[in-house]
Structure 1
Amino acid sequence: MTEIEVVVAAELDAECEWLAVAGVLPAGLIARNREVAEAALRPWTPAFIHGDLQITHVFTEADEVTGIIDWSEAAQGDPLFDLAILTLGHEDRLADVLAGYGTGVDLDVIRAWWSLRSLTAIHWLVDHGFDPSAPGCEIDVLKARM
């Protein structure tokens, strides 16, 4: 494992433990998504990524991207992470995004990033007054992996 994979795996383990101890999610749901998330912990070629490429950060006009905002989390990373965040909670749109992206995308890795991101975000969301169980949000994303 690379250094970054070790750091991400440690964060994932800590968040999964918190989810279980706090009783936020059933143990089976945590375990299944932890297993799915493993596929994201693999070697990848670093690329410059947005780091938080969600639909609210992309502006379009007449089917053309006209701008992308909030580059505060931009860094070297796995390009499939950006694709996963862009489609998080919108699995039905993944084929459309990939049609414009091109070939060579491992769908298991996209799904792994969905699980990893959801498992690691719930604690922060709860602590800051957001509801990860709202329709289409992180808990729904995790349930879809069952």
Structure 2
Amino acid sequence: MARRVFFSFHYQRDIWRVNQIRNIGEIVGTAAVGFHDASLWEEAKKKGDTAIKKMIDDALLNTSVTVVCIGAASAGRKYIDYEISQSIARGNGIVGIQIHELKDRLGNTDLAGATPALLTRAGAPVYKYADHARLAARIEEAAKRAGR
């Protein structure tokens, strides 16, 4: 059975980078800020914080691991702490993956970003993205640490 993973990331800045890593065999990626339909995110933003938090909560359903994709601006995202705290509350395994060295749609890499403070306080390990196989292994390690 495929493992369902919630990917937390800065949509506008890092969607191209995250799309390069989310298609791993045996991993089903979900995210509050639609891989499938960005218009859903825009609609939720118009409705306010409650709608966005519901979207995040719904995306976390049936996931066992949260991957916090750390780019140059991830730590400053408005909902990063909510995504991490909700992941912890539901017992997800959590891992941080630095993605700044992946190229964007224009072929540019980015600056390394700060690790979100709540991720550090949770004791979640943080790794630099290397390849799909290592990311899949990190996801499995996070699941086992959480007993999932």
Q: TM-score, normalised by structure 2?
A: 0.28
Structure (1 or 2) with the larger CA radius of gyration: 1
Q: Which has the higher strand share?
A: 2
Q: Which has the higher helix share?
A: 1
Q: TM-score, normalised by structure 1?
A: 0.28
